Chain A
Amino acid sequence: MLLGPLARPAPDGSWVQLTKLDGLAVGAPPRLYQVFIERTDAWTRHARNAVGSVFLERLDAKTVRAFQAACPHLGCSVEWRGDQKHFFCPCHNSAFSHDGAIIPPSPSARGLDALDVAIHEDGGVWVKFQDFKAGVKEKLPVA
């Protein structure tokens, strides 16, 4: 009842396909993708449950970089600000460089959380979507 949620296993991230390689142009700014996963929310089974969003950027022919859009500070969604070429959190004003590193002075304890990316043979861009603990230096998956 009260303590039930503590007994549930910690989530281990979900691999989801967000696009195909040809959907991302080299040199284009990071694009935000919404993430839907198969999930059971208490009593409801969702085939596609919206859980968050991810910035994808194609670095070269074979490499795609993925950042969790949730700010590592306190979980608001960061935006890509094209005019300044950096990520910015509209809540407590943390700024992150193009490669996700903190631009001081920012309240966030760490840079943006990079997510694991796998490119499948058919060109599918798969990302391991995970939430990380907010407000700490170390990148720890939410337990």
Chain B
Amino acid sequence: MKALFDWLDDRTGIRKLVRGALYEHVPGGARWRYVWGSTLTLAITVQFITGIFLWMNYSPSAQSAWESVYYINDVMPGGWLLRGIHHYMAQLMVPLLVLHFMQVVIDGAYKAPREINFWFGLGLLMLTLAISVTGYLLPWDQRGYWSTKVVTNLISGVPVIGDSLQRLVVGDANYGHHTLTRFFAMHAGVLPALLVLLIAGHVALFRKHGLTAKQPKKKPDAMFWPDQVLMDAIASLAVIAAVLGLVWWFKGAELGAPANPAEPYSAARPDWYFMSLFQFLKFFEGERIIWGSLIIPGIIFLLLMLMPLLGRWRLGHRFNLFVLFAGLAGFGVLTAMAFTHDARDSHYHAAVAQARMDAARAKELATSRKGIPTEGALALLRDDPLTQGPRLFASQCASCHTYSGHDGLGAPLPEPPSAPDLAGFGSRDWLRGFMDPAQIETLKYFGGTVFVHPKPGDKKSRMVRFILEDVAKYGAEEKAQLEKIILALSAEAKLPAQKEADLRDAAQIEEGRKLLKDLALDCTDCHRFHDVEGGKAPDFTGYGSHEWLVEFTKNPAHERFYGKRNDRMPAFGETSRLTARELELLIRWLRKE
């Protein structure tokens, strides 16, 4: 073994190198407060290694970025862990940088002759933040897309060159392939290269000037090895443990739904360490925005740059300490304000819940046998009833109807509904509730309609009167008949969720059909049912089925449905309020197909 080392040392001089690294002079002995630089070196090393593995699997284009990150995250064995480590290490680097910075300022380690190294450090801080910003967009999910749009719009606010700068960063007038290729080149190429150069300079200058000891020294001077190495190793292990803990706790890094410029994203927020700046921007009205985006952050940065020069005087050092703690307090207060505001905002909660649902649905569709098509995962959501149905319902139906009491997307209606709640329309439970004298007049059914509240002088509709007067008096036998009729009518809908129940109860359903055809309980006095003619009330043939609902929504005033008695419901198919495709998506969602 020794022979091997001798040979290696002879060819490379490695012993001297290792000795030089380990026998760095530590005035005042090892201390925990010196560990942050080492933890940051570890963090950056981890980012380089995980970053390169991510790179091997990432594809920066508008139709493949989300898709490849989804693949890394949800398909590739261990990919969630890889991406999780990269993500949470980036999160942790910010507090590590702050701690490192605090140690340097508090201990006065920035003073002459270490000015340049302090500036290198500030450069490294800025580079790390720039790497974070560019990395945020790369998954090309809704969160990254909309948050980064704010950043590039802020860039356009730079005086004189702002517009050109924005165009250069975005790569085009609109976001697209070149936004990703450019951000990726910065994130994985240009910025890390600059980072390596600055770190080399930072470490070289640190070695040149040596460590600035915290005064007063408590212990005799020592070497880096072994005590400080042990402390650094323990701190590094703690960082690794914290990152793995976060990855495990959050089950990897979040991936939102694929970026969609046409789909507003109300949950857009930057990463937590930019929430203070995000909050700060709310305070500047109109064109004063530049104070919040450039001038004040610029002044703060300038104050940091000036620290080594001011630090020559005792008062200057105190001023620097004031700047440090005031800055940290400002950061803390603004961050807390931003999070408190969001925590109290029900709209924000709804937006986050919606974003999570969309993300989960996108992944579910991508994982399904259909898989991701060539045009990208966005197409999956665009043609998905579960995604589009509630949105169409909210925009087109929820001015009158509710769905489980809300507008389809979970928000309450601004005014009480004037038409039935459509969740479970055509199902057994829905029909049982409808036929219940205690429920028909509630807002869940006809409570908001003219059938219950007719014009002055008119009577309630025949159906409502029938339920209130006849059904209310039903004895056991009639109730049993009604239940069979409900089963038969509900079976007409052929609801996927009721398929098994309909098969199981085939005999009762057949009895119910027969009852309907035999004019039992007078249903078919008014309602048509297959070959039984009926009257002017909505057709029971295929009631609630896909075809029935499509035709009904196209024109509820058709004589097959409500005819002249239609209460305010527009003919969606005869106008352009819903396209055929939208109608299809809406009905498929309503029926849970």
Contact = CB atoms under 8 A, between A and B. Distances in A.
Interface of A: 2-3, 5-6, 8, 10-11, 19-25, 28-29, 31-32, 34-36, 39, 41-44, 50-53, 69, 73-79, 81-83, 88, 90-93, 104-109, 123, 131, 133-137, 142-143
A106 B285 contact: yes
Contact of B172 (A8, A20, A29, A108): A8
B282 A93 contact: yes
Interface string B561-583: 00000000010000111000000
A91 B285 contact: no
A129 B577 CA distance: 20
A108 B286 CA distance: 5
A50 B153 contact: no
24 contacts: A6-B164, A6-B167, A11-B173, A11-B174, A19-B577, A20-B575, A23-B577, A42-B172, A42-B177, A42-B178, A52-B262, A73-B289, A74-B281, A79-B264, A79-B347, A91-B150, A106-B285, A107-B286, A108-B286, A109-B286, A123-B576, A135-B287, A136-B287, A143-B167
Nearest to A11: B173
B154 A77 contact: no
Nearest to B413: A82
A50 B287 contact: no
B297 to A, nearest CB: 15
A41 B64 CA distance: 14
B157 interface: yes
Contacts of A91: 150, 268, 278
Nearest to B169: A5
B172 A41 contact: yes
B575 A23 contact: yes
Contacts, number: 150
Nearest to A36: B262
Contacts of A41: 62, 172, 174, 176-178
A105 B178 CA distance: 37
A74 B157 CA distance: 10
B173 A142 contact: yes
B186 to A, nearest CB: 11
Contacts of A88: 347
B168 interface: yes
Given A6-B164, A23-B577, A42-B178, A50 B261 contact: yes
